Amino acid sequence: MTKAMTHEMSCDLEKAFEGISSLDKDDIALRATSYWDASPLEAAKLLLPKSTEEVSRILAACNAAGQTVVVQGGRTGCAGGAVSAAADVVLSLEKMNAVEEIDEIGQTVTVQSGVVLEALQSQVAARDLFLPLDLGARGSCMIGGNIATNAGGVNVIRYGMMRNLVLGLEAVLPDGRVISSMKRMLKDNSGYDLKQLFIGAEGTLGVITRAILKLEPRVAAHETALVSVASYDAVLALLALGKKRLGASLTSFELMWGDYYRAVAKGLGVRPPIADGHPYYVLIEIEAGDETGGGAGVQTVADRLMALLETAMADDLVTDGVLAQSEQERREIWRIRDDFEPILREKPVYLYDVSMPVQNMQDYIHAVEKGLARFGGGAVLHVFGHIGDGNLHLFVHPGPSHAGDDARARLAAEECVYHPLRGVEGSISAEHGIGREKKRWLGVSRSAEEIAVMKALKRTFDPKNILNPGVVFDL
């Protein structure tokens, strides 16, 4: 295992970096560590390459010197995977932000890793195309980070994770070699699909520099509903009914527990679309339009959503509901789901991202609540999730009595959240990755044999352990 440099950058490395944009110590300190941590960023050097060739030069030089490298994009990750130390070289991909080509016939887009998700969404929309990936950090997160963490978001139920959207990929290995499989083909069964090794690997096996992504025809409009539900069994029944009635047009089925819904609405100072006081709230969204080409008697997707809600009401699956009548109303409904800033205001707060079969979720939440009750000190739990694809997000406030001992409180909260996953076929990370924060719990989701194979891959690709060391696991 190599050691990070603990002194000023060597002359050989400084020479190797000549001509590559960089920041000095003072400018580095002006950057926050991440979206979640406002403390000054730490690094021995911050490099801003503009091409794959410059990334290759950086990694080749650092590998030869045994210098550790931390890769950064939009720094919106939730697991500490891009957090650097004072002795690290930070490789930021923010200047590799070109949308190289939009292929309207093949419905693909070729991008560099530093392209911000929202900017890419806007550019392809101008060509009447649609990038299915969408998540709350869209205005800051970058495509390279989305691929490296196998991002999910709100459309997974319809389009799948980021892995499902990547056709081609280019990555630079820790020793500077470039692996390029920039192909637009959906079907290529010629041996190992090497790009899959880098998707979700959190930058531990190589630095993703470019990608070819699948696009879809732009959806003309969406139909969005928010309903209240009295029991978790009714939530499951509504999900099953929605999948049966709406089919592939169902893009989002988002569940908010009542406490989450109430806390966000109150914190934002907005009048909730449906009065609070219900146990559960479900946001349902479909891709709208006349799927069959129109004509008298044809039932549109919007008609089917309305019919679904009428059936759900008649079957007592839904107690109240509202259907967005405009884009503004749609945004207001999504704001209750998306804007959890009020929950983050009370410090400390710990965010967790777990997954499991949907039928196990209620028992799991009960187990977490029991654990937090034993935890004591007024701990508070808020929950929402992409229940259509089995993903829950949990916010835990440890309570005022634990505010002075954050490390101990965090560990106790993690035990309450992660231990019950063993009994419900769960994962400690649905879409945020492992990073540095969850690696002690990796054994909850992965067997010893699986972890051993992961470590063997890391040693093969990065024998000197220079690239994102300590992310996912320690060697």
- State the architecture of 346-432 in CATH terms: 2-Layer Sandwich (3.30)
Return the SS3 of 360: helix
User: Exposed, middle or buried by CB within 10 Å (0-12, 13-18, 19+), for 338?
Assistant: middle
Q: How far is residue 72 CA from its own chain's centroid?
A: 15
The per-residue DSSP string of 34-62 comes to: -SS--SBP--SEEE---SHHHHHHHHHHH
Decide if 220 contacts 207 (C-beta within 8 A).
Answer: no
Question: Which among 73, 1, 64 has a CA at the least distance from the CA of 455?
Answer: 1
Note the pLDDT of residue 151: 93
Collapsing DSSP states into helix, strand and coil, what is residue 90? strand
> For 394-417, how does the pLDDT look when each residue is reduced to its tens digit (9 = 90+)?
999 987 766 667 788 899 999 999
Amino acid identity at 22: S
Looking at residue 300, its pLDDT comes to 76
- Cα(467)–Cα(191) distance, integer angstroms: 26
Q: Torsion angle, CA of 50/53/58/64, rounded to 10 degrees?
A: 180
Burial class of 400 by CB neighbour count within 10 A (0 to 12, 13 to 18, 19+): exposed
Take residue 38 and report the two structure tokens written for it.
Answer: 């406002």
Other CB atoms within 10 A of residue 448 CB = 8
Q: How many CB atoms lie under 10 A from the CB of residue 103?
A: 14
Count other Cβ atoms within 10 Å, centred on residue 398: 25
The SS3 call for residue 195 is: helix
Are the C-beta atoms of residues 47 and 89 closer than 8 Å to each other? yes
CATH topology of domain 99-217: 3.30.465
CATH number of 222-338: 3.30.70.2190
Q: Tell me whether domains 222-338 and 346-432 share a fold.
A: yes
Q: Give the per-residue pLDDT at 407.
A: 85
Class of domain 11-95+457-461 (CATH, top level): alpha beta
Question: What confidence score (pLDDT) does residue 299 get?
Answer: 60
Query: In the chain, where are the structural domains located?
Result: 11-95+457-461, 99-217, 222-338, 346-432
Q: How far apart are CA 138 and CA 131, in angstroms?
A: 12
Backbone angles phi, psi at 152, to 5 degrees: -110, -90
Each residue of 120-170: pLDDT tens digit? 999 999 999 999 999 988 999 999 999 999 999 889 999 999 999 999 999
Low-confidence ranges of the chain (pLDDT < 70): 1-8, 289-299, 377, 401-404
Q: Looking at residue 10, what is its pLDDT? A: 80
Tell me which residue of 134, 146, 29, 164 sits closest to 78, measured CA to CA. Answer: 146
Measuring CA to CA, which residue among 248, 237, 242 is closest to residue 283? Answer: 242
DSSP label of 144: H
Which candidate, 78, 159, 37, places its Cα nearest to that of 429?
78
Q: What is the pLDDT of residue 25?
A: 85
**What pLDDT shows up at residue 401?**
67
- Alpha-carbon span 91 to 203, nearest angstrom: 11
